Chain A
Amino acid sequence: MGERILNIFSLGIFRILGGALVGLGNLILGIGARSIFLWEVITKIGKKPFELREFILQLYLVGVRSLAIVAVSGFFVGGITVLQFHYALSLFGAQVYLGGVTTSGLLRQVGPVLVAIMITGRVGAFISAELGTMRASEQIQAVRCLGLDPVSVLVLPRFLAVVIMIFLLTIVGLLISLAGGALVSFFLLKVSISYYLVNLLKLTTIQAFLNGMVKSLLFGILIATISCYEGYYSAPSAEGVGKAVNRTLTYASISVFLVNYIITAIVSLTFTLGENILFLSGAR
């Protein structure tokens, strides 16, 4: 009896281990496939003919059409961040630092992640559905049959537009969120704008800005790769397109948070190590 229970137990363990290994294998294969796709897209940059008209159209669709939603959400996120930090700082009587602390947080974390998630939902899903429908209705095959490369013609303009526009929208979103924060702190919390701005400039470094910009660039590449890949290789059916959109939203959101965490951890670790080295060597 005991042996039997042990057998069942071990079988269960092996099944779980086997399942985990298969899952890990699929994850590595999935990342590999998307990396190869990204490389294929990158190698097409600069090759003729470049789809200038399509590129400009995509810049408009991704950038201009997303401007309002990024501006509105940026404004409110700036306001909410100020409200939250104000409460915490007021416990220590340090409200004057409100501008500096909130801006640093917005530049490094909230701004780039917010814009990336907004674009994933608004543009990533759209691109994925569009390319998926083109696959299902054989428009991609039609492009190939005309002797053209569908990656150059259809994917590259969308990819570049998403990367460039996420970068620019992050800057716009950040500026508006800073304005939102300043206005909320002035009108609701009665913190003077001059205090807000003085501490903003004192506590916010250029590194914080660069940190946010590097993140937005990486998020752009991630979202563009995932949305184009899922759409381009979706199963040629209505269900396939639906699943492609679903995967785009899930994978892109998870990737953004994961990469954000990794970069933050690396920056934080190198900063601490650097400070320690400088302290120990007496260079300060």
Chain B
Amino acid sequence: MIEYKRVGKKFGKQWVIRDLSLKIEMGEIFFVLGRTGVGKTVLIRMLVGLLKPDEGEVWLEGERVELLNEEQLRAVRRKCGMVFQLPTLFDSMTVFENIGFGMRRLSAISEGELEARVKRLLELVHLDPEIRGYMPSELSFGMQKRVSLARAIALEPKYLLYDEPTTGLDPFTARQINLLILELKDKLKVTSIVVSHDLESMRQIADRVGLLEAGDFVLIASPEEFEKSEQEFVRRFMESG
């Protein structure tokens, strides 16, 4: 389980997150909605120790993440697959090497097994295994995002953190990515946090949604309750989308 307890994070003197509390249950897709720059990405980065909170506690499976050292954080990060806003593929490596990057280093796997696993992962994210020899620059943006998703799930994480997974994609590809997120949740039984400002994605995939504004959640609810909410800020956000 993931839990944020009265968490605060500031950059310089500016508090981006303040007194935020949240519990995420196993197996759910929690959707963090919010405007650009309200600290959505900060929230998931604190979970894997890429950023440390200035106040409060971040818990993951009974461990206080902010108290762990770099060595201990590595074990936490292996439980979490992170899909960045940009694909962040290693541009000097092929698709095969990118997906196999973590497996090659962290598991005793033979080249034959690795080959088979990369093929399966490419199929899982609906990409032709034939592209495994391609360089990232030879792929479209949407394909790169899928490859980065395949790399994130290669180590079989229990949690998947998506940072703006549909940003920069056309509606058709964005819908495919959303369906993929749902499919991975069912097939891999992962708990997911999706950070986005895309209302359509929220409607398609969220089990619960939280609207972040001025450092804390304005509302945490199911997508249906969220759509019906009479809160002024929620209404304004929905209308602007």
Q: A residues within 8 Å of B by Cβ? A: 49, 134, 137-139, 141-142, 144-149, 153
Complex contacts, B152 vs chain A, CB 8 Å: 145
- Hey, what's the 0/1 contact readout for B76-120 against A, CB within 8 Å counting as 1? 011011101010111100000000011001100000000000000
B50 x A153 contact (CB < 8 A): no
Complex contacts, B86 vs chain A, CB 8 Å: 137-138
- A selection of 26 A-B contacts at a CB cut-off of 8 Å is A137-B91, A138-B84, A138-B86, A138-B88, A139-B88, A139-B89, A139-B91, A141-B50, A141-B84, A142-B88, A142-B90, A144-B77, A145-B77, A145-B80, A146-B77, A146-B101, A146-B102, A146-B106, A147-B74, A147-B75, A147-B102, A147-B106, A147-B155, A148-B102, A148-B105, A148-B106
How far, in angstroms, from A142 to B98 measured CA to CA in the complex? 11
How far, in angstroms, from A145 to B45 measured CA to CA in the complex? 10
For residue B48, CB closer than 8 A to chain A, the reply is: yes
Complex contacts, B155 vs chain A, CB 8 Å: 146-147
Complex contacts, A148 vs chain B, CB 8 Å: 74, 102, 105-106
Instruction: Report the contact-size class of chain B (Cβ under 8 Å from the partner).
Output: 20 to 34
* Distance of A26 from chain B, by nearest CB (Å): 21
A144 x B105 contact (CB < 8 A): no
- Hey, what's the 0/1 contact readout for B34-72 against A, CB within 8 Å counting as 1? 000000000000001010000000000000000000100
- Whether A145 contacts B82 in the complex (CB less than 8 A), given A49-B105, A153-B105, comes out as yes
How far, in angstroms, from A274 to B124 measured CA to CA in the complex? 73
A144 x B75 contact (CB < 8 A): no
How far, in angstroms, from A134 to B89 measured CA to CA in the complex? 10
How far, in angstroms, from A153 to B93 measured CA to CA in the complex? 14
B78 x A147 contact (CB < 8 A): yes
| Other A-B pairs, 6, CB within 8 Å; known A142-B82, A149-B70, A149-B74 | A141-B84, A142-B88, A144-B50, A145-B48, A145-B50, A147-B74
A147 x B77 contact (CB < 8 A): yes
Complex contacts, B102 vs chain A, CB 8 Å: 146-148
How far, in angstroms, from A109 to B78 measured CA to CA in the complex? 50
* Distance of A152 from chain B, by nearest CB (Å): 9
